[in-house]
Copies of this chain bind each other. A is one copy, B any other.
Amino acid sequence: MANLREISVSAALNLLSAFAFLVAFAILRLQPINDRVYFPKWYRRGIRNSPRRSGVCVTRFVNLDWRTYIKFLNWMPAAFRMPELELIDHAGLDSVVYIRIYLLGLKVIGPLAVLAFLVLVPVNWTGETLEGVKNLAYNDIDKLSISNVPDGSKRFWVHIVMSYVFALWTFYVLYVEYKEVAAMRLRYLASENRRPDQFTVLVRNVPPDPDETVSEHIEHFFRVNHPDSYLTHQVVYNANKLAKLVQKKKSLQNWYTYYFNKYERTSKRPITRTGFGGVVGTKVDAIDYYSSEIQKLSEAEALEREKVLSDPKAIVRAAFVSFKSRWAAAVCAQTQLSHNPTIWLTEWAPEPRDVYWRNLAIPYFDLTIRRLLMAIALFFLIFFFMIPIAFVQSLANIEGIEKVFPFLTPLIETKSVRSFIQGFLPGIVLKIFLILLPTILMMMSKVEGFSSCSSLDRRSAGKYHLFLLINVFLGSIITGTAFQQLKTFLHQPPTEIPKTVGESIPMKATFFITYIMVDGWAGIAAEILRLVPLVIFHLKNMFLVKTEQDREEAMDPGCLNFATYEPKIQLYFLLGLVYSTVTPVLLPFVIIFFAFSYVVFRHQVINVYAQRYESGGSFWPDVHRRLLIGLLISQLLLMGLLSTKSVEKSTIALLPLPILTVWFHVYCKGRFQSAFVRFSLQDAMTKDTLERATEPNLNLRAYLKDAYVHPVFKGRIHFESPLLVPDEENNTLVLTRRSS
């Protein structure tokens, strides 16, 4: 176990490396050549122009103005400068609420740390148990922790009282924050401009009708049951195949551009192979090959497009139904249409960008089966993920590789390669799995059949949170795989579990401090550097970009990855809450993480990330619930820990805490959650009345006409634009494209 000095050294090193990242960031971001990587948001909004346009040769790529380097940290105050209201306008409510989670971390853990250092640390320090113990490695951190208080000491009552104080403070902050976020959301919804989703309801599971088409059936049904308010509807086409074709064509066009550029530079017709990835198969002229392939695809696409639009079977049993007023849409979204709750299902339409089109046509029974299967799959993923990884790791050893690829044997037998394989490969296999994990979880959520990207993100976050909780938090405390833990827990009395875990909590403090520094601090520093997008941008810029529009495309700002980031924040919350009464020394590390993250993400939200959708902060109830789960875990573990310290009645004294926590959750849920899932009739009516007064002649039908059209029908011009460069105006490809 590391002592205080070792931790300090490690902290210093980590701080230094984070600092190095920051310096790198400061230098890189000042180079005009990187401008689009670090400020894509402003380009997107059309406010910022490339600094490369002006200036002479070198300064177009490298910043030579030494004065700007001196103030290399001035992005930090800049990140704070934008007031919250402007930020909502600039980046959307989702992003603003997201960065408030970090601020919430400071608000919760900050005062906890102050109190813990003022009260608990002195109590622990003067406990002097560890002083008397010989033959046992103890260190300064342990002397500041609860381990230093002798068994059965009356001092533990201080910890018990403080755990109440901490819980009450957390409740207070969480309550105020939930209230504030709910108010922000309501203000946002009330102030936002007219949007199609305000008038629209997603209707799923339209029952089949032998005499009418889906579209007619929907229209008749709503004309009968919402006679005064039904306006129009937009059927949903099953354009999955078409979307795939469009996607494939886009990729082929990229290759085509790549080879065309190459040809222009070298004046030599490039050669490719027709097989997988251009590696196997017969050799062909690349430009001819791709242009003919694109032409074939364009024809197939035109055919498919025709088929989708004319074939009644391509219309799925779902539709976006629009109403004359927000009030009527709110009514329809919240009420049940048919007495059979598996047909005519209504819900708020997600905003057009947020619709996940592939999942709109799943019948009710399928949905319940899919969710059951995914729940079972998640269970196995969490508890047995080590089995396939161990299998791959066993293959990825020297003998395994030699068996499969005998021709590699001489290379592998080299000493350096051998040691690399033995040392790193197993770790890399695990790391690759962990990197892929959010994608796997997202795929599982997609199978579950949610109909909007925001709900997919929220579901994936829930799954990832569970994974981190069991495999990272519990897995680090009790060494062994999750499956072994599960086995232990199943064969232990329920009261023993908090004891077993609680007992090892103080011993793992140094491990988690290191974890916070390596994973947390370094992760945030890497986040701001955007190394991967930087490299990809420059590669694309070098090989693909021909026009200004290509450059826009190459500049991928990315978006806040809620499904991955939020569960990680929850882990730090959990560590802060668990260790607040046990080893307060850990708290400053968490605080630094939150503060640093807050600055970095505020900067990123302002300058980098583009939103894929805007859900109005609808993820907050999840954040709140998971935070309370963390609080509950911390309380149970404290109960377990104290019951091993032979403190009489500690269990009884702490028992009201978890009950209070659960009650607080129920209360907050009832008090605030509906602001995130329902839309009040009063607010809808207010907005309607206002609009009727200001715009009496609004043609809503025209406004909503194309709002919910599948993007493949809408985005044709957008997808094909990269080729609209002057020197290709006359080739056959353009002609076929035009005719499609």
- A: residues with CB less than 8 A from B are 186, 224-226, 228, 327, 330-331, 334-339, 341-342, 344, 364-365, 368, 371-372, 376, 489-496, 659, 663, 666-667, 670-675, 678-683, 685
Contacts and interface: CB of A to CB of B under 8 A. Distances in A.
Contacts of A672: 341
A313 to B, nearest CB: 26
Contacts of A225: 327, 681-682, 685
A496 B496 CA distance: 13
A680 B338 contact: yes
Nearest to A227: B685
Contacts of A226: 681
B342 A670 contact: yes
A330 B364 CA distance: 24
B494 A341 contact: no
A339 B228 contact: no
B336 A674 contact: yes
A330 B330 CA distance: 14
A230 to B, nearest CB: 12
Contact of A492 (B331, B371, B493): B493
Contacts of A683: 339
Nearest to A186: B339
A447 to B, nearest CB: 16
Contacts of A365: 667
Given A490-B494, A492-B493, A682 B368 contact: no
B339 A663 contact: no
27 contacts: A224-B682, A225-B327, A225-B682, A225-B685, A330-B335, A334-B334, A335-B335, A335-B680, A336-B680, A337-B680, A338-B680, A338-B682, A339-B683, A341-B670, A341-B671, A341-B675, A342-B671, A368-B667, A372-B659, A372-B666, A376-B659, A490-B493, A490-B495, A491-B495, A492-B493, A493-B494, A493-B496
Contacts of A186: 339
Given A224-B682, A372-B659, 17 more contacts: A226-B681, A228-B228, A334-B334, A334-B336, A335-B678, A336-B678, A338-B682, A339-B683, A341-B670, A342-B670, A368-B666, A371-B666, A376-B659, A489-B493, A491-B493, A491-B495, A493-B493
Q: Which 3 A-B pairs have the closest CB atoms?
A: A341-B674, A339-B680, A334-B335
B675 A339 contact: yes
A496 B490 CA distance: 8
Nearest to A328: B331
A688 to B, nearest CB: 10
Contacts of A489: 493-494
A186 B224 CA distance: 20
Contact of A681 (B335, B342, B491, B675): B335
Contacts of A680: 335-339
A617 to B, nearest CB: 14
A495 B344 CA distance: 43
A255 B494 CA distance: 59
Nearest to A672: B341
Contact of A663 (B368, B495, B673): B368
B337 A682 contact: yes
Contacts of A342: 670-671
Contacts of A663: 368, 372
Contact of A670 (B336, B368, B681): B368
A599 to B, nearest CB: 33
A489 B16 CA distance: 52
A186 B679 CA distance: 28
Nearest to A185: B339
Given A491-B495, A494-B490, A681 B336 contact: yes
B335 A331 contact: yes
A321 to B, nearest CB: 13
A494 B490 CA distance: 6
Contacts of A666: 368, 371-372
Contacts of A337: 680-682
Contacts of A685: 224-225
A665 to B, nearest CB: 11
A667 B334 CA distance: 21
B493 A339 contact: no
Nearest to A660: B372
Nearest to A673: B341
A372 to B, nearest CB: 5
Contact of A339 (B490, B670, B682): B682
A143 B330 CA distance: 65
Contacts of A341: 670-675, 678
A501 to B, nearest CB: 15
Contacts of A228: 228
A209 to B, nearest CB: 14
A178 to B, nearest CB: 12
A681 B670 CA distance: 26
A537 to B, nearest CB: 43
A636 to B, nearest CB: 13
A129 to B, nearest CB: 28
Contacts of A371: 666
A490 B499 CA distance: 12
Given A336-B334, A337-B682, A364 B671 contact: yes
A218 to B, nearest CB: 13
Contacts of A667: 365, 368
A155 B376 CA distance: 29
A443 to B, nearest CB: 21
Contacts of A681: 225-226, 335-337
A217 B425 CA distance: 72
A639 B689 CA distance: 62
A672 B368 CA distance: 14
A225 B685 CA distance: 6
A670 B364 contact: yes
A663 B494 CA distance: 25
Nearest to A674: B341
A364 B672 CA distance: 12
A506 to B, nearest CB: 24
A337 B330 CA distance: 10
Contacts of A670: 341-342, 364, 368
Interface centre among A228, A364, A372, A666 (most CB of B within 10 A): A372
Nearest to A367: B670
A2 to B, nearest CB: 35
Nearest to A182: B339
